[in-house]
Structure 1
């Protein structure tokens, strides 16, 4: 990927600000954030600060007001990295601390309520614990995860600034520290720069750059307010919606759900480049991203004259996930709404590949257990231990194929 020189980009931002127009496209934002020059935007790195400076310039260009600490666009937080994955993060300065930077802009319409629109901009840097790449250190550009969400956020901000509804205020937030535990959104939710009691709902965009040909779009959090299903179906321009009720998930909307704020999380699905160096800007579906911009803007417009949304608690689906002692070595297709568990990617040198399973296969039986959905697949997988052998039945383009799997 070609490197992008930061000073040139900032000059363009300044010139665009003078013209008071948003001359930036989705591609412009993604290609900058996902360039090799930013070396994967690891939390607390010099390159993440370069990305933060770019985002601050974009928010100024969009004529947003600073809404971070002390009248600035930045909200910084320091923390001690976890040595144990189950350990709670400790915020505050001290030995071996890292400082993350949230970038926050505010569109003040002098309204009673505020809508929060967010997306994380950090990624994995050169790899590390979260990477699925096994060939050493390499730049993880994170185009879909999550330059795509940030680019959509900026376009939504432009739409709301130019022609959007004015009955709510809008807080636009680019979060740091998502990849290492939702740190930026969690910190903001407990140290808000606005009154959270005035927030009517929060919208999160995380991995919205790979819309498929069938236009499948996953939206989580639909159970967190009674009106969500009605609004989403009324404004849907033609997406195949996969609606999930839970307000808890592995992204930043969770931090706001835990503050009793209704949430939505938009997501176009995982893919074989997830958390790998190959998640590059040229692979994104920009037309699909623009359609998502329109959809989110329409959802916001539809709720313009509504009172503050009523919050509802939902079940925590993550608490129902079984524990695994083994792995099949596949990436599930989380957007599949048919019967079984469809494989969206196969990892090298893992049980699935060794048995001949392929992308697109639909697992319908594992051992004695019938697989009808993701949860039944996970329950079946949790019954096995390392060294076990079992039969797995898959549906491959209408043909039932049985293979032997050794974990």
Structure 2
């Protein structure tokens, strides 16, 4: 009965939006985020009623925007899986009913321009519910993880791009995919590439938006995958007049573009950086930069426009930079600013009751030395960290404004 009432409430909520003065096709980025990150969707955990309500909403938006269905069941592509107990094992998509299984739902819409090749534009819409595995919340009570930035923001930009592309840039077809199961290991995108509803040999390139809702004052935007086709680095630079771009050549990373890179399709992934609310209940709608999201959507549209008459882009393999990341047994308990390109490692957030907080480190501090090792960037920071074990003590030096501050760390 509870589930029936919940679904009825969500249907009423959707109907209220549909009956407003605006049609579904004219909904703004902010309105899309507001629906997807509402408490009523209970954090959109994969397979939950809230995720299914989000899928229905996205399908409605696709229909209103004039996208045709491209899933095995209308706009929907469902996949059933058993959660992994070993992070290194392959996910089992072939399971028996009742065997602790979960059903995820990809939402797929198609814009057919009768072109030879198709651009894939994707973003995941699932999140962590009340704090599924991956949550960084350490409170005693369960709290809804609304995932406004992660990743209602990416879906909202995807829908905005669909609206922009309806009448322009006819050199390619467009496949828009809202992925389920990303938080559980890129499951929806992985499943799609193995059960594609288009001929993937005709896929031109893939664009992925994951956490694009918190553009900072310095307008730093990370663009990953620029090495996956020879022209991409040039195009990313040539169309930029608004952002401080942080480039990464690799096509491998912790989001859905990786599934397409592994299928030998060029990719670009857009990301505005982590923050203190990442995978916590505080990732809510009032903290997003909606003007920044509009600017990012326009930038991606400009990249698509520039490539419209370039034909099919050649794929190029890139180095998997994650293979070079040192393994470490301890942590400072900080959120690094992955978009910082100065000297050192800038702290973007400090976790409660962890070594950094106990040592008095603060958000905005820049780590320049850890133990005997100089810290010049993220990689040197991780190398320095990998030398320590639980119980070790050492000194850390940070830049705080114009001053250098030394503190003692106990791991």
TM-score bracket, normalised by the shorter chain, equals: over 0.9
Cα distance in 2 between the residues matched to 1:39 and 1:227? 42
State the partner residue of 1:290: 294
State the partner residue of 2:94: 92
Task: Report the alpha carbon displacement of residue 166 of structure 1 after superposing the two structures with TM.
Answer: 0.5
State the partner residue of 1:159: 164
Alignment partner of 1:259 is 2:263: yes
Cα distance in 2 between the residues matched to 1:42 and 1:114? 30
Cα distance in 2 between the residues matched to 1:105 and 1:20? 18
Q: Secondary structure at the match of 1:77?
A: strand
State the partner residue of 1:317: 321
Aligned length: 401
Instruction: Tell me if structure 1 keeps the 8 A contact 2:208–2:257.
Output: yes
Cα distance in 2 between the residues matched to 1:324 and 1:6? 45
Select which of 70, 75, 78 maps to 1:76.
78
Instruction: Tell me if structure 2 keeps the 8 A contact 1:364–1:370.
Output: yes
From the superposition, tell whether residues 66 and 12 of structure 1 become closer, same or farther in structure 2 (CA, over 3 Å).
Answer: farther
Task: Report the alpha carbon displacement of residue 237 of structure 1 after superposing the two structures with TM.
Answer: 2.8
Cα distance in 1 between the residues matched to 2:177 and 2:162? 10
Range with bigger deviation, 234-243 or 217-226: 234-243
State the partner residue of 1:120: 124
Cα distance in 1 between the residues matched to 2:48 and 2:95? 16
Select which of 180, 186, 191 maps to 2:195.
191
Instruction: Tell me if structure 1 keeps the 8 A contact 2:24–2:61.
Output: no
RMSD (CA atoms): 1.5
Structure 2's unaligned 5+ residue stretches are 1-7
Task: Report the alpha carbon displacement of residue 38 of structure 1 after superposing the two structures with TM.
Answer: 0.3
Structure 1's unaligned 5+ residue stretches are none
Instruction: Tell me if structure 2 keeps the 8 A contact 1:121–1:147.
Output: yes
Select which of 238, 244, 267 maps to 1:240.
244
State the partner residue of 1:47: 50
Q: Deviations over 1:41-83 (max 9, x none)?
A: 000111110100000000000010000115x100000000112
Following superposition, which runs of at least 4 residues in structure 1 exceed 6 angstroms of deviation?
18-21
Alignment partner of 1:218 is 2:212: no
* TM-score (norm: length of structure 2): 0.95
* TM-score (norm: length of structure 1): 0.96
Cα distance in 2 between the residues matched to 1:209 and 1:138? 21
Task: Report the alpha carbon displacement of residue 259 of structure 1 after superposing the two structures with TM.
Answer: 0.4
Select which of 33, 38, 41 maps to 2:41.
38
Task: Report the alpha carbon displacement of residue 5 of structure 1 after superposing the two structures with TM.
Answer: 5.1
State the partner residue of 2:64: 61
